[in-house]
């Protein structure tokens, strides 16, 4: 889940919460996008 408030907008960041891992803190948008891209590319078919 992404949380985007005034602080996040001002810092071009998002706060991230991952199910079963909890609050991941505020991270730059570019870091989140790259992390998601890597996770998608490294997925295997079931």
pLDDT tens-digit readout, 1-46: 999 999 999 999 999 998 999 999 999 999 999 999 998 999 866 5
- Tell me the whole-structure pTM to 2 decimals: 0.69
CA pair distance 46, 17, nearest whole angstrom: 25
Q: Where are the domains of the chain?
A: 2-41
User: Sign of torsion, CA 1 37 7 24?
Assistant: positive
Task: Identify the pLDDT of residue 43.
Answer: 86
- DSSP 3-state helix, strand, coil percentages of the chain (rounded to 5)? 40, 35, 30
Distance of CA 19 to the CA centre of its chain: 12
Task: Identify the pLDDT of residue 32.
Answer: 93
Task: Identify the pLDDT of residue 10.
Answer: 95
């Amino acid at each position: 889940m992404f949380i985007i408030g005034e602080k996040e907008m001002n810092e071009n960041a998002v706060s991230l919460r991952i199910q079963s891992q909890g609050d991941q803190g505020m991270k730059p948008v570019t870091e989140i996008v790259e992390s998601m891209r890597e996770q998608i590319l490294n997925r295997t078919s079931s």
